[in-house]
């Protein structure tokens, strides 16, 4: 259950830090909302905390960041990067992801998380960040554009969820 008082917590109380094992359950809870209620992710079955823990380990093993945002001490969002593709020539390119608790969307937390993630990627001498967006998703499109990403591709009807076909667009940022 989301505490409505936290949704009004001032953004100056926002803390962004690397994710840790203690964050796994809260991350799974945030993500599973999107699995159950939206087409933002193409997963159709909720992900148990143990799977989130494995995904976090994969990100760490690739020496990539997984960050969390806390408002009033409560984990309200996360962002991370994964390798774009497995072949070695892609080693300087990553795919970026950000998720927030539903009632924290539109308050600038996603932008702050994403900017922090991009800073980490630049410090790691990565070259390209790629964001995939299930369409339509005006909020995510606006976030990417605000941060300097530009739309480079759109694939029609590549996902099928909740009885309908879904397009996916890709936004790219040279770091």
Q: What is the DSSP string of 127-156?
A: -EEEEEEEES-HHHHHHHHHTT-EEEEEEE
Measured over the CA atoms of residue 168, residue 83, residue 116 and residue 128, the dihedral's sign is negative
5 within domain boundaries = no
7 within domain boundaries = no
What predicted TM-score, i.e. pTM, was given to this entire model? 0.91
106 within domain boundaries = yes
Question: What would the two tokens of residue 173 be?
Answer: 């940022």
Residue 140, Cβ density class (10 Å: 0-12 exposed, 13-18 middle, ≥19 buried): buried
**CB within 8 Å of 86: residues ≥ 6 apart:** none
pLDDT in tens, the chain (175 residues): 333 444 444 566 899 999 999 999 999 999 999 999 999 999 999 999 999 999 999 999 999 999 999 999 999 999 999 999 999 999 999 999 999 999 999 999 999 999 999 999 999 999 999 999 999 999 999 999 999 999 999 999 999 999 999 999 999 999 9
What CATH number is associated with residue 26?
3.40.630.30
pLDDT of residue 13: 85
4 within domain boundaries = no
Give the domain extent around 44: 12-174
Structural domains of the chain, count: 1
92 within domain boundaries = yes
């Amino acid at each position: 259950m989301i505490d409505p008082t936290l949704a009004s917590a001032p953004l100056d109380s926002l803390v962004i830090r690397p994710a840790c094992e203690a964050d796994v359950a809260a991350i799974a809870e945030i993500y599973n909302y999107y699995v159950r209620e939206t087409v933002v992710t193409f997963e159709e079955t909720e992900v148990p905390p143990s799977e989130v823990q494995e995904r976090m380990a994969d990100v760490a093993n690739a020496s990539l960041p997984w960050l969390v945002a806390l408002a009033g001490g409560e984990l309200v969002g996360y962002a991370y990067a994964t390798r774009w593709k497995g072949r070695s020539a892609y080693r300087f390119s990553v795919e970026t992801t950000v998720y927030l608790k539903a009632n924290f969307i539109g308050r600038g937390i996603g932008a702050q998380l994403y900017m922090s993630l991009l800073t980490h990627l630049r410090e790691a001498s990565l070259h390209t960040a790629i964001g995939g967006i299930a369409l339509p998703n005006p909020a995510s499109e606006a976030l990417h554009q605000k941060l300097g990403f530009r739309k480079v591709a759109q694939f029609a009807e590549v996902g099928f969820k909740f009885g309908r076909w879904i397009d996916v667009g890709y936004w790219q940022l040279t770091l």
